[in-house]
Amino acid sequence: MKSNEAMTKLPANPERATLDGKNKFLGFWFFLGGETVLFASLFGVYLGLRNATNGGVTSNELFELPLVFIATMLLLTSSLTSVFATMALKTNHFKRMIGWFVVTGLLGLGFLGLEIYEFNHYVHEYGHTIKSSAWGSAFYTLVGTHGAHVFMGISWITLLIIRNLRRGMDLYTAPKFYLFALYWHFIDVVWIFIFTVVYLMGKVG
Amino acid sequence: MAHHEGHDTMSEHDQSHLDIHHKIAHEKEFKQQIVSFAMMIFLTMIAFVAVASDAISDAFTVIFIMILAGIQLVFQLYMFMHLSHKGHQYPAWGIFFGVFVAGTCVVALMGMIW
């Protein structure tokens, strides 16, 4: 019977069932609209400066597609696992939701590890730093800001899980987890454009 | 007491009816999410292959991979972030206003930096 706790008591959209939840939901979407503009400014600068290499290494020489591909797969899969978590949330499976969010966080950690390895590799093997060229500044600011968002997301979900593990699913905790899932998808959206504009276009020349 | 029990049975019946309805909707959504994910993996692979192979011209490759990224954006927003669900009119306004300002911003910065 215990495994059959699903779909009782909670309404169809528990994340928007209270005024508090509605406000958070709307406010968070507006925040994401603002985040889009933040990243757009960094993308615009990157596109303007991507050939300003100051005589140093070029993007075509620097980037290795297999590493970027693995990182992309990690983040894309983590987006799917947070979709599973959201579906568990909507059907009132608290433990299943926590499980999927843990997997999401671990995949995010894997992505972050790859990014740290990548930056370290660029700095020490190629001398490509934030100070070496205008392109270097634009690259580390754009990709680094995205990485900081991933780090922020991992910290957020870790704290959410620890704080709410004993509370279980209700109309108070549902909006919190739902917003995290939205944030995580947004991070994936930004990464889609980073791997396209920065890495793939960097290889094309 | 009897009245209460009767009332409870009624609402339980309604509840289970509603549950079945939700369950079918969720199963349908689950399939759509899996298909979306498979499509996104597929589009990503095409983008990487297009860049890795020399068969296509550079100018066309750039346009092609940008279109693929645009399709993935739509999948993320409408499938994974549920923008297609009811009650998402204001969120849609918020995010698309952001996207509009973002597009203007990218074009302006690209053009302004020499």
pTM of this prediction?
A: 0.89
Is residue A142 helix, strand or coil?
helix
DSSP state of B77: I
With beta carbons less than 8 A apart as the criterion, state whether A89 and A11 touch.
Answer: no
With beta carbons less than 8 A apart as the criterion, state whether A177 and A24 touch.
Answer: no
Determine, for residues A193 and B47 on separate chains, whether the beta-carbon distance falls below 8 Å.
no
Decide if pLDDT at A82 tops 90: yes
Return the residue of A nearest to B12 by Cα: A8
Choose, out of B46, B89, B105, B107, the residue to mutate when testing the contact with A (most A CBs < 10 Å).
B105
Decide if pLDDT at A54 tops 60: yes
Determine, for residues A45 and B65 on separate chains, whether the beta-carbon distance falls below 8 Å.
no
At residue A178, what are phi and psi to the nearest 5 degrees?
-60, -45
Q: What is the signed CA dihedral for A167, A169, A170, A172, rounded to 10 degrees? A: 60
Alpha carbon distance A113, B95 (integer Å):
30
B92 CA to centre of own chain = 12
Identify the band that residue A11 occupies on the pLDDT scale cut at 50, 70 and 90: confident
Pick B47's closest partner by Cβ from A48, A188, A200.
A200
- Among A114, A133, A141, smallest CA distance to A198 is for A141
Q: What is the mean pLDDT of residues A71-89?
A: 96
pLDDT tens-digit profile of A110-162? Answer: 999 999 999 999 999 999 999 999 999 999 999 999 999 999 999 999 999 99
**Nearest CA distance, A159 vs chain B (angstrom):** 22
- Among A172, A175, A180, smallest CA distance to A156 is for A180
pLDDT tens-digit profile of A158-187? Answer: 999 999 999 999 999 999 999 999 999 999
Decide if pLDDT at A105 tops 80: yes
Determine, for residues B105 and A201 on separate chains, whether the beta-carbon distance falls below 8 Å.
no
Q: Which residues of B touch A25 (CB under 8 A)?
A: 91
Can you give the pLDDT at residue A204? 87
Helix (H) or strand (E) holding B71: helix B58-75
3-state DSSP percent of chain B in helix, strand and coil, to 5: 85, 0, 15
CB-based contact, B52 to chain A, within 8 Å? yes
User: Tens place of pLDDT for every residue, chain B, 114 residues?
Assistant: 344 444 444 455 666 666 777 778 888 888 999 999 999 999 999 999 999 887 788 889 999 999 999 999 999 999 999 998 888 999 999 999 999 999 999 999 988 875
Domains and CATH numbers, chain A: 15-46+69-204 (1.20.120.80)
At residue B82, what are phi and psi to the nearest 5 degrees?
60, 30
Helix (H) or strand (E) holding A28: helix A19-49
Decide if pLDDT at A194 tops 60: yes
Q: What is the mean pLDDT of chain A?
A: 93
DSSP state of A67: H
CB-based contact, A1 to chain B, within 8 Å? no
> Which residues are within 8 A (CB) of A34 and not within 5 positions of it... i.e. 6 or more apart?
B98
DSSP state of A130: T
CB-based contact, A66 to chain B, within 8 Å? no
Pick B106's closest partner by Cβ from A47, A87, A195.
A47
CB-based contact, A76 to chain B, within 8 Å? yes
Tokens of A72: 């992309």
Q: Which residues of A touch B108 (CB under 8 A)?
A: 44
> Which residues are within 8 A (CB) of A111 and not within 5 positions of it... i.e. 6 or more apart?
A71, A74, A75, A78, A150
List the domain boundaries for chain B: 2-81, 86-114
Q: Which residue has the tokens 């950690």?
A: A109
* DSSP alpha helix (H) spans, A65-168: 65-90, 94-126, 134-164
Q: What is the mean pLDDT of residues A35-54?
A: 94
Determine, for residues B76 and A185 on separate chains, whether the beta-carbon distance falls below 8 Å.
yes
Decide if pLDDT at A9 tops 80: no
Choose, out of A13, A37, A46, A59, the residue to mutate when testing the contact with B (most B CBs < 10 Å).
A37
Is residue A164 helix, strand or coil?
helix
Determine, for residues A34 and B47 on separate chains, whether the beta-carbon distance falls below 8 Å.
no
Choose, out of A25, A35, A36, A74, the residue to mutate when testing the contact with B (most B CBs < 10 Å).
A36
Burial of A173 (0-12, 13-18, 19+ CB in 10 A): buried
> Which residues are within 8 A (CB) of A190 and not within 5 positions of it... i.e. 6 or more apart?
A39, A146, A149
Can you give the pLDDT at residue B110? 86
